[in-house]
């Protein structure tokens, strides 16, 4: 009989419940023997026995379970462990790889694994395992939570993600058995999450294979067409490639340089991405072949570069020195593009043996190459990035936001800029001075007000370029601008801005909640001061609040109704009727400067003097509308009495539409009439109705309704004005 699979199993690769007699027996002896041979090359005998015990445990747990392809399910964890053995991972990681699905797909628990194979192995298995999808509202939410759990487990132990990447690699290799719609979804996940993580950890061959497999399953027709075109081009260009390879192998010894030269072909996904991003046809992508030159030391790299530039003409702007400035994943190499025979572009990568080891195995080279000198730097950079995931989690309010930040962070760093002291910072392409400021320090980003790029004052939204020298100007009382979220590119900047705005919103919402609660208490005949500490303690104990500020914040955000909180606070008291209910009730006074907790509705754009009403929207705070706003009927929430605070002393934006006769100088007359009443023009746009009339839309800054009335009277005195109307919604530019 097949083992029963819990409902929590949610992967597209989960084994179906199929009786044993529906499948012919499959012999795994060859795979197990090959696995043991790999282990014997670097593990002690006792460790090998431990790993084999984990395999037997997994085989017993998965007995009766089959993959969609029909293979015994245990063949999958065995293949995952084989990949890890190629990287020379330790016995704990190999055991976890063999056991990584038993918690999801069988009745084996994490405690059972810890008891049999140790706490570390159990923690690795738990980090790789998915959560129960039934806890979440949708597939997307479940997947986001799975990613969050996996990435945070990875931050604690990098072996978690190495197991997960090997798991995804084998699943992608066997994806043909899955339904087409699932194939596309899984391929998209691979391109968005797993391939970038592999790249970030320096696992370049793994990254390329994941990209290639994902491309094949996401766009099968494009893949087949491109594959056919590359095979056809391979025959046409074989002679040219052989000629270049022979010339390089002959020229380098003549220059006294000992090197290994290898020709390589770009993968299909790399060619496809270049065609898509640069809008090229296949015939325009000439550099589908490249060469890798490996030498003994760093000086030899630059000698090879000089020799190649002497052999073939270099293409200006196509040289990159990743040795002096390594990539974020510690990748080091010299890249140059040359004009070869018949005008064929030739891409060359020049690196040392150690650099090549790190480029091939990345963070896995910690286990694979024990003597690699560059490993301390690689481990330090990897640890720093993993630690940043913990910081992102603390800065993100929910799982989806955390995943968004991680996706931003996974794109490779392409722009290298300098601080005033000459330190190099790597940032994503499209990064701005705001990203730079947060990369320097969170406090620098929060207090940023201006910047200088190459000693010239530039806007904060300017995109940085390679080699820019950036200096940030700060002010002690400056605060992040919500508009920055529209153009920052780094996850750290985005997370810190959102964290600050959320903290600011909570503070403003607590102040608003206090005013709303005071209004509700007065409606019941009590002053807020009459609520004792014991009343609050009883409310928090019985109603599930953590603290008084949290309850007030919830009221301000519309998550709790102030009238209900007021009644709960005075439970058991006898409340006498007052003389004037309206006087007791009072109105919330609107200043217009409350920030994010109180918002003036964009649909009607109220200004002081307009009759107004307020509605508390859940999660948004208090929204203020004019009393005749058409959108009021559609609003859902708790309605509250609001009024303008006397003597506000600030300007509000208001929109007006002026129909005028087409006459020379009419715009100047209108501007003069507006300026006469000390009003600012924020924006003006024009729509010509016909040859005789024009419609002008103005956005003005006024202090109140009376100020607006004076402006309108002035405008009506202009002879060319035909009609004036106030616009309640924002005019289009």
Q: For residue 369, is it within any domain?
A: no
Comparing 592 with 577, the larger pLDDT belongs to: 592
Same domain, 587 and 536: yes
State the DSSP H helix or E strand holding residue 560, giving kind and residue range, or none if neither. none
Say yes or no: 509 and 631 in one domain.
Answer: yes
Q: What is the pLDDT of residues 95-139, one digit of tens each?
A: 999 998 898 888 888 899 999 999 999 988 988 876 544 344 556
* Residue 2 located in a structural domain: no
pLDDT at 552: 82
**Stretch among 200-214, 277-291, 589-603 having the lowest mean pLDDT:** 589-603
Q: How far is CA 633 from CA 35, 258, 557, in A?
A: 70, 81, 21
User: DSSP class of residue 17?
Assistant: B
How many whole angstroms separate alpha carbon 645 and alpha carbon 593? 11
Please indicate, yes or no, whether residues 322 and 439 belong to a single structural domain of this protein: no
pLDDT at 660 over 50: yes
CATH number at residue 347: 3.30.460.10
Question: Which of 74-88, 265-279, 406-420, 596-610 comes out lowest in average pLDDT?
Answer: 406-420
**Could you tell me if residue 372 is inside a domain?**
no
Give the CATH number, domain containing residue 412.
3.10.20.30
Confidence of residue 434 (pLDDT cuts 50, 70, 90): very high
Whether 481 and 521 share a structural domain? no
pLDDT at 133: 40
The candidate with the shortest Cα–Cα distance to 190, out of 214, 160, 162, 163, is: 214
The domain that contains 688 carries what CATH number? 3.30.70.260
- Please determine, for residue 18, whether its predicted confidence score (pLDDT) is greater than 70: no
Write down the pTM of the prediction: 0.60
pLDDT at residue 505 in the model: 66
- How large is the average pLDDT for residues 316-339? 85
- Mean pLDDT computed over 511-537: 79
Question: 7 lies in a domain?
Answer: no
pLDDT band at 597 (very low <50, low <70, confident <90, very high): low
Could you give the number of structural domains in the chain? 5
pLDDT at 149 over 60: yes
Regarding whether 447 and 595 lie in a shared domain, the answer is no
Query: Is the model's pLDDT at 694 over the cut of 80?
Result: yes
Is pLDDT above 60 for 36? yes
Whether pLDDT at 683 is above 80 = yes
| Boundary (domain end) residue, out of 216, 247, 278 | 216
Q: Are residues 394 and 480 in the same domain?
A: yes
* Distance, CA of 164 to CA of 154 (rounded, Å): 10
Confidence check: pLDDT of 58 > 50 = yes
Cα separation, 291 vs 108, whole angstroms: 50
* Residue 103, domain member (yes or no): yes
Q: What is the pLDDT of residue 316?
A: 86
Say yes or no: 59 and 196 in one domain.
Answer: yes
Please tell me whether residues 62 and 28 are part of one structural domain. yes
pLDDT for position 370:
53
CA-wise closest residue to 304 among 376, 232, 252, 243: 252
298 and 423 belong to one structural domain:
no
Domain-ending residue, one of 311, 332, 362: 362
Report the CATH number that the domain containing residue 96 is assigned in CATH. Answer: 1.10.3210.10
In terms of domains, do 420 and 513 share one? Answer: no
pLDDT tens across 358-416, in order? 777 776 665 655 555 555 566 666 666 666 666 655 555 555 666 666 655 565 556 78
Indicate if 53 and 173 belong to the same structural domain. Answer: yes
Does the structure show a pLDDT above 70 at 594? no
The answer to whether position 81 is within a domain reads yes
Could you tell me the two tokens for 466? 């390679």
Q: Across-strand partners of 693?
A: 661
Whether 104 is catalytic is yes
371 is catalytic: no
Phi, psi of 224 (to 5 degrees): -65, -40
Closest by Cα among 100, 154, 106 to 130: 100
Q: How far apart are CA 554 and CA 597, in angstroms?
A: 11
Least confident range from 272-276, 527-531, 533-537, 632-636: namely: 632-636
pLDDT-derived band of residue 300, with 50, 70 and 90 as boundaries? very high
pLDDT band with cut points at 50, 70 and 90 for residue 77: very high
* Rounded mean pLDDT, 151-165: 80
Instruction: Report, as an integer, the average pLDDT of 19-44.
Output: 70
What does DSSP assign to residue 730? P
Measure the CA–CA gap between 167 and 146, rounded to whole angstroms.
15
Out of 104, 157, 496, 638, pick the active-site residue.
Answer: 104
Does residue 620 form part of some domain?
yes
Q: Domain range spanning residue 677? A: 652-727
**Per-residue pLDDT averaged across 558-581, rounded?**
63
In the listed set 614, 644, 674, which residue is the last one of a domain according to the structure?
A: 644
Question: Of 82, 105, 209, 638, which one is the catalytic site residue?
Answer: 105
Residue 237's pLDDT is 67
Taking the mean position of all CA atoms in its chain, how far away is CA 500?
Answer: 18
| 442 and 528 share one domain | no
* 393 within a domain of the structure (yes/no): yes
Distance CA 570, CA 536 (A): 10
| Biggest distance spanned by C-alpha atoms of the chain | 107
| pLDDT number for residue 367 | 62
**What is residue 678's three-state secondary structure?**
coil
CA 673 – CA 663 distance, rounded (Å): 16
């Amino acid at each position: 009989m097949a083992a029963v699979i819990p409902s929590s199993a949610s992967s597209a690769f989960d084994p179906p419940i199929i009786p044993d007699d529906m499948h012919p027996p499959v012999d795994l002896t060859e795979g197990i023997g090959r696995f043991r041979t790999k282990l014997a090359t670097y593990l002690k005998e006792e460790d090998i026995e431990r790993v084999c015990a984990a395999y037997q445990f997994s085989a017993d747990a998965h007995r009766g379970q089959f993959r969609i392809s029909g293979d015994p399910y245990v063949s999958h964890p065995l293949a995952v462990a084989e990949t890890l053995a190629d990287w020379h991972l330790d016995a704990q990681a190999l055991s976890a790889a063999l056991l990584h699905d038993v918690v999801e797909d069988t009745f084996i628990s994490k405690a059972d694994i810890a008891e049999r194979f140790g706490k570390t192995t159990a923690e690795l298995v738990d980090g790789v395992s998915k959560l129960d999808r039934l806890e979440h509202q949708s597939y997307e939410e479940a997947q986001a939570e799975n990613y969050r759990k996996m990435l945070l487990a990875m931050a604690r132990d990098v072996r978690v993600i190495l197991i997960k990447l090997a798991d995804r690699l084998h699943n992608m290799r066997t994806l043909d058995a899955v339904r087409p719609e699932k194939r596309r979804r899984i391929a998209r996940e691979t391109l968005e999450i797993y391939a970038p993580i592999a790249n970030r950890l320096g696992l370049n061959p793994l990254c390329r294979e994941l990209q290639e497999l994902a491309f094949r399953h996401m766009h099968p027709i494009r893949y087949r067409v491109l594959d056919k075109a590359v095979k056809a081009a391979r025959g046409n260009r074989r002679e040219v490639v052989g000629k270049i390879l022979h010339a390089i192998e002959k020229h380098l010894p003549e220059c006294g340089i000992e090197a290994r030269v290898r020709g390589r072909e770009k993968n299909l996904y790399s060619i496809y991405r270049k065609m898509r991003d640069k809008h090229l046809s296949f015939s325009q992508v000439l550099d589908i072949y490249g060469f890798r030159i490996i030498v003994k030391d760093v000086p030899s790299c630059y000698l090879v570069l000089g020799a190649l530039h002497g052999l073939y003409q270099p293409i200006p702007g196509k040289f990159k020195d990743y040795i002096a400035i390594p990539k974020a994943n510690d990748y080091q190499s010299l890249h140059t593009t040359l004009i070869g025979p018949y005008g064929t572009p030739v891409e060359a990568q020049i690196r040392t043996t150690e650099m090549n080891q790190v480029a091939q195995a990345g963070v896995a080279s910690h286990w694979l190459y024990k003597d690699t000198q560059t490993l301390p730097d690689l481990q330090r950079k990897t640890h720093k990035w993993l630690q940043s995931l913990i910081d992102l989690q603390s800065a993100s309010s929910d799982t989806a936001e955390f995943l968004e930040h991680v996706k931003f962070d996974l794109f490779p760093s392409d722009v290298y800029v300098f601080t005033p002291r000459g330190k190099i910072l790597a940032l994503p392409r499209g990064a701005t001075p705001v990203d730079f400021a947060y990369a320097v320090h969170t406090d620098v980003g929060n207090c940023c007000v201006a910047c200088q790029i190459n000693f010239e004052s530039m806007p904060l939204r300017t995109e940085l370029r390679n080699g820019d020298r950036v200096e940030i100007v700060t002010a002690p009382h400056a605060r992040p601008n919500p508009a920055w979220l529209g153009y920052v590119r780094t996850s750290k900047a985005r997370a810190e801005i959102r964290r600050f705005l959320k903290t600011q919103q909570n503070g403003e919402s607590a102040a608003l909640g206090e005013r709303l609660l005071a209004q509700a208490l007065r409606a019941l005949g009590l002053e807020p001061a009459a609520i004792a500490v014991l009343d609050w303690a009883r409310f928090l104990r019985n109603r599930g609040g953590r603290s008084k500020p949290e309850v007030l914040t919830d009221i301000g955000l519309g998550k709790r109704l102030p009238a209900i909180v007021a009644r709960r606070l005075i439970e058991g008291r006898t409340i006498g009727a007052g003389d004037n209910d309206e006087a007791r009730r009072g109105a919330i006074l609107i200043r217009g400067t409350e920030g994010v907790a109180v918002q003036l509705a964009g649909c009607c754009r109220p200004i002081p003097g307009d009759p107004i009403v307020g509605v508390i929207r859940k999660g948004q705070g208090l929204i203020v509308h004019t009393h005749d706003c058409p959108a009021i009927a559609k609003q859902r929430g708790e309605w509250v009495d609001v009024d303008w605070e006397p003597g506000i002393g600030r300007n509000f934006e208001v929109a007006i539409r002026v129909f005028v006769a087409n006459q020379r100088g009419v715009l100047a007359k209108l501007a003069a009439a507006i300026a006469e009443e000390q009003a600012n023009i924020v924006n003006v746009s024009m729509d010509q109705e016909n040859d005789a009339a024009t419609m002008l839309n103005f956005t003005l800054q006024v202090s109140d309704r009376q100020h607006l009335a004076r402006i309108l009277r002035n405008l009506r005195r202009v002879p060319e004005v035909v009609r004036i109307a106030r616009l309640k919604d924002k005019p289009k530019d």
